[in-house]
């Protein structure tokens, strides 16, 4: 044998390798047994270190235990997440353009309708009635009257008639009318009035019947006023 302390570490290692290659019983005092071939029985337990690896390991399967040191760069996975991710919070500045939806809201809105004091830029078109106006002379008249709609201006009506007056308990005039019941609203614009007498008149009348003695409510414009 070689006495201990005769050779230093590096030289001892070289001699140990050379000796093992020529004689299996050649032993260096204090040297550890070594082998050039890998072990046929690797350790079943992995080694544990407190220092992180310089090269991270890659895995195609997700880990069941999250890392204590999460990555700053998001990973890309071919597998969908089992737990849904949280969405970003809503914007603090809402959009000025309304979103469109083809589905109605499940609950109606409770806000009051908006009111505008500004007039519409385009005037409302003349009302087209669901039925034609009728016309009739009420009471005794000197000349039969008539009424018709303008062919060039729909909603504009011309009325021609005669009569003694709309006064007291007996009326005498030409009447253009529609039958109605219950509450009603009627708006008319008198574009022109021409008559030989100062009491010639035109206007809107709500009449109970076509009798000359019928009760009525009338607002009219007279020739003299």
Q: In three state form, how does the secondary structure of 118-177 look? A: CCCCCCCCCCCCCCCCEEEEECCCCCCCEEEECCCCCCCEEEECCCCEEECCEEEEEEEE
Q: Terminal CA-to-CA distance of the chain, rounded, Å?
A: 149
C-alpha 201/C-alpha 113 separation (Å) is 41
In the predicted model, what is the mean pLDDT of residues 188-208? 92
Closest CA to 162 of 176, 173, 147: 173
Q: What are phi and psi of 22, to 5 degrees?
A: -110, -30
Closest CA to 61 of 81, 47, 79: 79
Closest CA to 180 of 107, 127, 115, 131: 131
In the predicted model, what is the mean pLDDT of residues 59-74? 69
In the predicted model, what is the mean pLDDT of residues 121-134? 65
In the predicted model, what is the mean pLDDT of residues 89-117? 69
C-alpha 177/C-alpha 122 separation (Å) is 29
Number of residues in the chain: 225
Mean pLDDT of the chain: 76
Phi-psi region at 12: left, alpha or beta (left = phi > 0; alpha = psi -120 to 50):
alpha
C-alpha 12/C-alpha 20 separation (Å) is 12
Model confidence at 132, pLDDT cuts 50, 70, 90, reads confident
Model confidence at 224, pLDDT cuts 50, 70, 90, reads confident
**Among the listed ranges 11-20, 33-42, 63-72, which one has the minimum average pLDDT value?**
11-20
* 31-35, 44-48, 91-95, 187-191: which is most confident: 187-191
C-alpha 70/C-alpha 168 separation (Å) is 100
Identify the pLDDT of residue 129: 62
Q: Strand, coil or helix: what is 202?
A: strand
């Amino acid at each position: 044998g070689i006495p201990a302390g005769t050779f230093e570490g590096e030289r001892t290692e070289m001699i140990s390798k050379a000796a093992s290659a020529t004689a299996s019983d050649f032993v260096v005092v204090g040297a550890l047994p070594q082998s050039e071939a890998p072990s046929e029985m690797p350790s079943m337990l992995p080694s544990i270190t407190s220092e992180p690896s310089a090269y991270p390991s890659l895995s195609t399967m997700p880990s069941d235990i999250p890392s204590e040191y999460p990555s700053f760069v998001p990973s890309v996975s071919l597998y969908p997440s089992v737990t849904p991710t949280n969405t970003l919070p809503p914007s603090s500045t809402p959009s000025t353009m309304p979103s469109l939806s083809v589905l109605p809201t499940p609950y109606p809105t409770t806000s009051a309708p908006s009111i505008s004091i500004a007039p519409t830029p385009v005037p409302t078109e003349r009302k087209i009635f669901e039925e034609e106006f009728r016309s009739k002379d009420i009471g005794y008249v000197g000349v039969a009257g008539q009424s018709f709609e303008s062919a060039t201006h729909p909603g504009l009506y011309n009325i021609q008639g005669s009569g003694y007056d709309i006064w007291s308990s007996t009326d005498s005039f030409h009447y253009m009318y529609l039958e109605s019941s219950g509450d009603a609203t009627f708006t008319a614009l008198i574009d022109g009035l021409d008559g030989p007498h100062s009491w010639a008149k035109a206007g809107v009348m709500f009449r109970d019947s076509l009798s000359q003695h019928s009760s009525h409510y009338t607002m009219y414009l007279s020739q003299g006023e």
